[in-house]
Structure formats: C-alpha cells, structure tokens
Amino acid sequence: MFDSLDESAVLTGMAAAQCDERAACARRILLAGRLVQLRTAGVDEDDRTQWCIDNWEAVAAEVGAELGISRGRASSQMNYGVELLERLPKLGAAFATGTVDFRVIVAAVFRTGLITDPEVLARIDTVCARSARTWNKLSRKRLAQVIDHWVSQLDPAAVRAAREAAEDRHVDFGEPHNGMIEFWGALRSTDAAALERTLDALADAVCPTDPRTKAQRRADALAGLAGLATGTTPALACECGAAECPAGQTTSPTPVVIHVIAEAATLSGQSQTPGYLPGYGTVAPAMLREAAKTATLRPLDPSALSCAQGRYRPSAALAEYIRCRDLHCRFPGCDKPAEYCDIDHTVPWQLGGPTHPSNLNLRCRTHHLLKTFWVGHTGWAEKQYSDGRIEFTSPSGRTYTTTPSGALLFPQLATPTGEITLQDRQANPGRTAP
C-alpha cells in the first residue's frame, strides 16, 4: 500500500495523518457538545435535577447509538464538548486545528474545572490555547503540573489537590484468556500483608500429598475467600460510623451466585462447544464439566416459553431465558450486564403488550427510564422481532438494530419465539406504562 513511498514521505504522511486524526476527534467532541446545547436550550438546569431522566441522558443515548459506543463514553464526549464550547472556547478552536492531542484537552478540562471566575477562566483559556500544542509531548504527570502552575498563578484556590495514596486502592480484572483472568490492584500495606499471610496459611494447611503447587494453592485459597469454593462470603465492615447502621450487624452475607451459559451436550461430554461466563468470556469445556459437578443446573427450553403469560412479571424460567438470550442491555451501544438490568416489555403491558419472549428484553435502569419517559412522536420508538432483534428509531429519525448477544454465541437462543398478539387491556389513564 505504501511501497512507493520513501522514508521522508512516510514520516510526512504520519504527521499528516496525526493532524487529521486530531481534527476529526475535535469535530466529534465539539459536535457532541453542540447537540447538547441544541437539546437543552430553554430548559432550566434546576428543573432538570428533579426529572427521572433529563435531556443530558436523552442526548447521551442518541450520541451513543449514533457512534456505537456506551452511554458513559458518549456522556464523557458530550461533557468535553460543552466545556470547550462554553468554558474554554479558545482551546476548543486550537483543538479543531488538529495540532492538539485529546489527552491535553482531557487534562486541561479537568485541571481547570474548579475555576468559577469568568475573567480568570478567560485568561487560563488564552494560556492553554497558546501553549497546548507544545504540551503534546508531556507525560500525564508533567502535563498536570504545567496546567496547575498556571491555575495556581491565576486562581490558587482552584488548584485540584492530589489525592492521598490510600484513596488509590483498587482491584481490577483483565481480559479472559483460556478460562483464566489476571487481576491486579493496590491495597493498604497492612491489608496486603494480612492477605498474603492468610493465603500462605491456607495454602500450607493441606497435606503433603496435595498435587497442586504452592502458587496454585494460594490462588485456590483466594477463590475460597471470595466464596467460590464455600458458597459464603466474608463480611465487609461498613465505615460509615453510624451506630444504627444495619450493615454493622451483618454476619452472614448472601452467598455469591454466578451464571454460566453452556450447551447440555458440552456438559455431557458429547460436544466441545465452550461455555460463556457473562462479563468474563469463554469457559473451556473441561472447566465447565468440572464446575457442573457441584453447580445447580437450570435447563433452558425456548419451545416451552412460546406462549404468553397472563401476568406482568415473567416467570423465573422466562426471566432466565431473557437474561441468557440478551446478556446485557439491548439499547444501542450499551453493555450493562444482565444482572444489573430490568426485564422490559417492548409494547408496554398496560397498552396490551404480552409477557412473551418476543415482547421482552433487557434494559438497564437508565435506558428503561428513557423508554418510559422519552417516547412518542418526538422521542424514541422501537420494534422487536421474534428472533430477539430490536429496531430502534431515534428522535432524529435514524434507525439502529441490536441483536441479542447470547444468541450470537448460542444460535439456539435465536430460535423465533412467535409473533405477539396485543391484548385488550385498558391502560391506566393516570400513569405511563413501564
């Protein structure tokens, strides 16, 4: 593709591509901010704080659907766009030229976020716009220091204080690979020492003939502490300090339950199709069969769920099927896991929509509220098909189709469940149907 280019042309092309990439990023961010301005014009912010779901979330839903990204990422881009348009317009103009990295914009918006004086903000905007292109090469730490230097000169009270080291404690999990997950984090040194000694003690408690290595026993001991081996979890003491706090009396928390989707043939050894652990990924067949020895198995039979149920809430079997079929929120761009989602009627129950797999899908709470309060000729519309696909139409008239993720992994879950028949059910005139 680039065989005809010499070294100079290659380097020149790289620089040009970088400039184009930065400018394209700026256009996307600034346009997201402009859409927010258009949709929130004339709406008082104090009023919106009392809404179940406000204009911001409605715009985030539409931006996420158009760009194919999550609501959180869409909201973040909208925020940067609004900040550049309304608080740092000169920096926004410099960003649009393609000479400033987005990482510089992120740092500048955050480090200047506490400035409230319009005159001070205008001065820092001028400084950032003039110098931002020279900050591209700086590390994140150095970038924060440079911006803080200017903020401290112009408005010392607006410098963001560094967090204490203890506030950086965390545990993160990586991507799954061959049924295993690497994780890392940062603990208080005292907690880390206690954890390590506990793991060593548990690992050394087995008899000498245990076939596992010390490292494997430590890993299994940690899983045991998490309740995966015993079915119970240790209590985490609440630090609120309130004497009447109900969590302070907790001694036996609810056991942790995880759901793994797998074919029956895999569990019986007749198939090598891997299973799926929502949120983590593929589970090897051998690992599935080992886990199945002590797990509770719940067979899914789509054919037994093809009839409408005469009640609003789906049965346990139907709910399990919907969660396994969809795996996450069905709104375009959203990947909120099934365990944090509601089961929603596409055609609302009070408007005659049956409790039927062809009329049910998962919706996170935010997008459930969007469905409830932002519908009609100026809002969102949707149509669900018997194989689980949903076609969404945005307020701008653009259409987006989502496919249930579980059905992509296990085609059986995409088996059409039949067309729905709307019921003659009188809607409550005083309430919007969920």
Is the pLDDT reported for residue 430 higher than 50? no
* Range among 90-94, 166-170, 338-342 with highest mean pLDDT value: 90-94
Is the pLDDT reported for residue 152 higher than 50? yes
Q: What pLDDT score does 190 carry? A: 60
**400-421: per-residue pLDDT in tens?**
999 999 988 898 888 888 888 8
Q: What pLDDT score does 234 carry? A: 52
Q: What pLDDT score does 227 carry? A: 63
**269-299: per-residue pLDDT in tens?**
999 999 888 877 888 888 888 888 888 898 8
* Predicted confidence band of residue 112 (pLDDT cuts 50, 70, 90): very high
Q: Which residue has the higher pLDDT, 244 or 254?
A: 244
Q: What pLDDT score does 161 carry? A: 66
pTM of the model: 0.72
* Predicted confidence band of residue 246 (pLDDT cuts 50, 70, 90): low
Q: Which residue has the higher pLDDT, 206 or 414?
A: 414
Range in 66-70, 289-293, 358-362 the model is least confident about: 289-293
Range in 94-98, 193-197, 244-248, 346-350 the model is least confident about: 244-248
* Predicted confidence band of residue 431 (pLDDT cuts 50, 70, 90): very low
Is the pLDDT reported for residue 78 higher than 90? yes
Range in 10-19, 214-223, 372-381 the model is least confident about: 372-381
Q: What pLDDT score does 174 carry? A: 86
Give the mean pLDDT of the chain.
Answer: 84
**AA identity, residue 57:** E
Residue 291 half-sphere exposure toward CB, CA atoms < 13 A? 21
Q: Give the rounded percent of residues in the chain with a pLDDT score beyond 70.
A: 86
Q: Which residue has the higher pLDDT, 240 or 275?
A: 275
Q: What pLDDT score does 36 carry? A: 93
- Cα separation, 387 vs 277, in Å, equals 22
Average pLDDT estimate for 258-268 = 89
Q: Which residue has the higher pLDDT, 330 or 55?
A: 330
3-state SS track over the chain: CCCCCCHHHHHHHHHHHHHHHHHHHHHHHHHHHHHHHHHHCCCCHHHHCCCCCCHHHHHHHHHHHHHCCCHHHHHHHHHHHHHHHHCCHHHHHHHHCCCCCHHHHHHHHHHCCCCCCHHHHHHHHHHHHHHHHHCCCCCHHHHHHHHHHHHHHHCHHHCCCCCCHHHHCEEEEEEEECCEEEEEEECCHHHHHHHHHHHHHHHHCCCCCCCCCHHHHHHHHHHHHCCCCCCCCCCCCCCCCCCCCHHHHCCCCCCCCCCCECCHHHHCCCCCCCEEECCCEEECHHHHHHHHCCCCCCCCCHHHHCCCECCCCCCHHHHHHHHHHHCECCCCCCCCEHHHEEEEECCCHHHCCCECHHHEEEEEHHHHHHHHHCECCCCEEEEECCCCCEEEECCCCCEEEECCHHHHHCHHHHCCCCCCCCCCCCCCCCCCCC
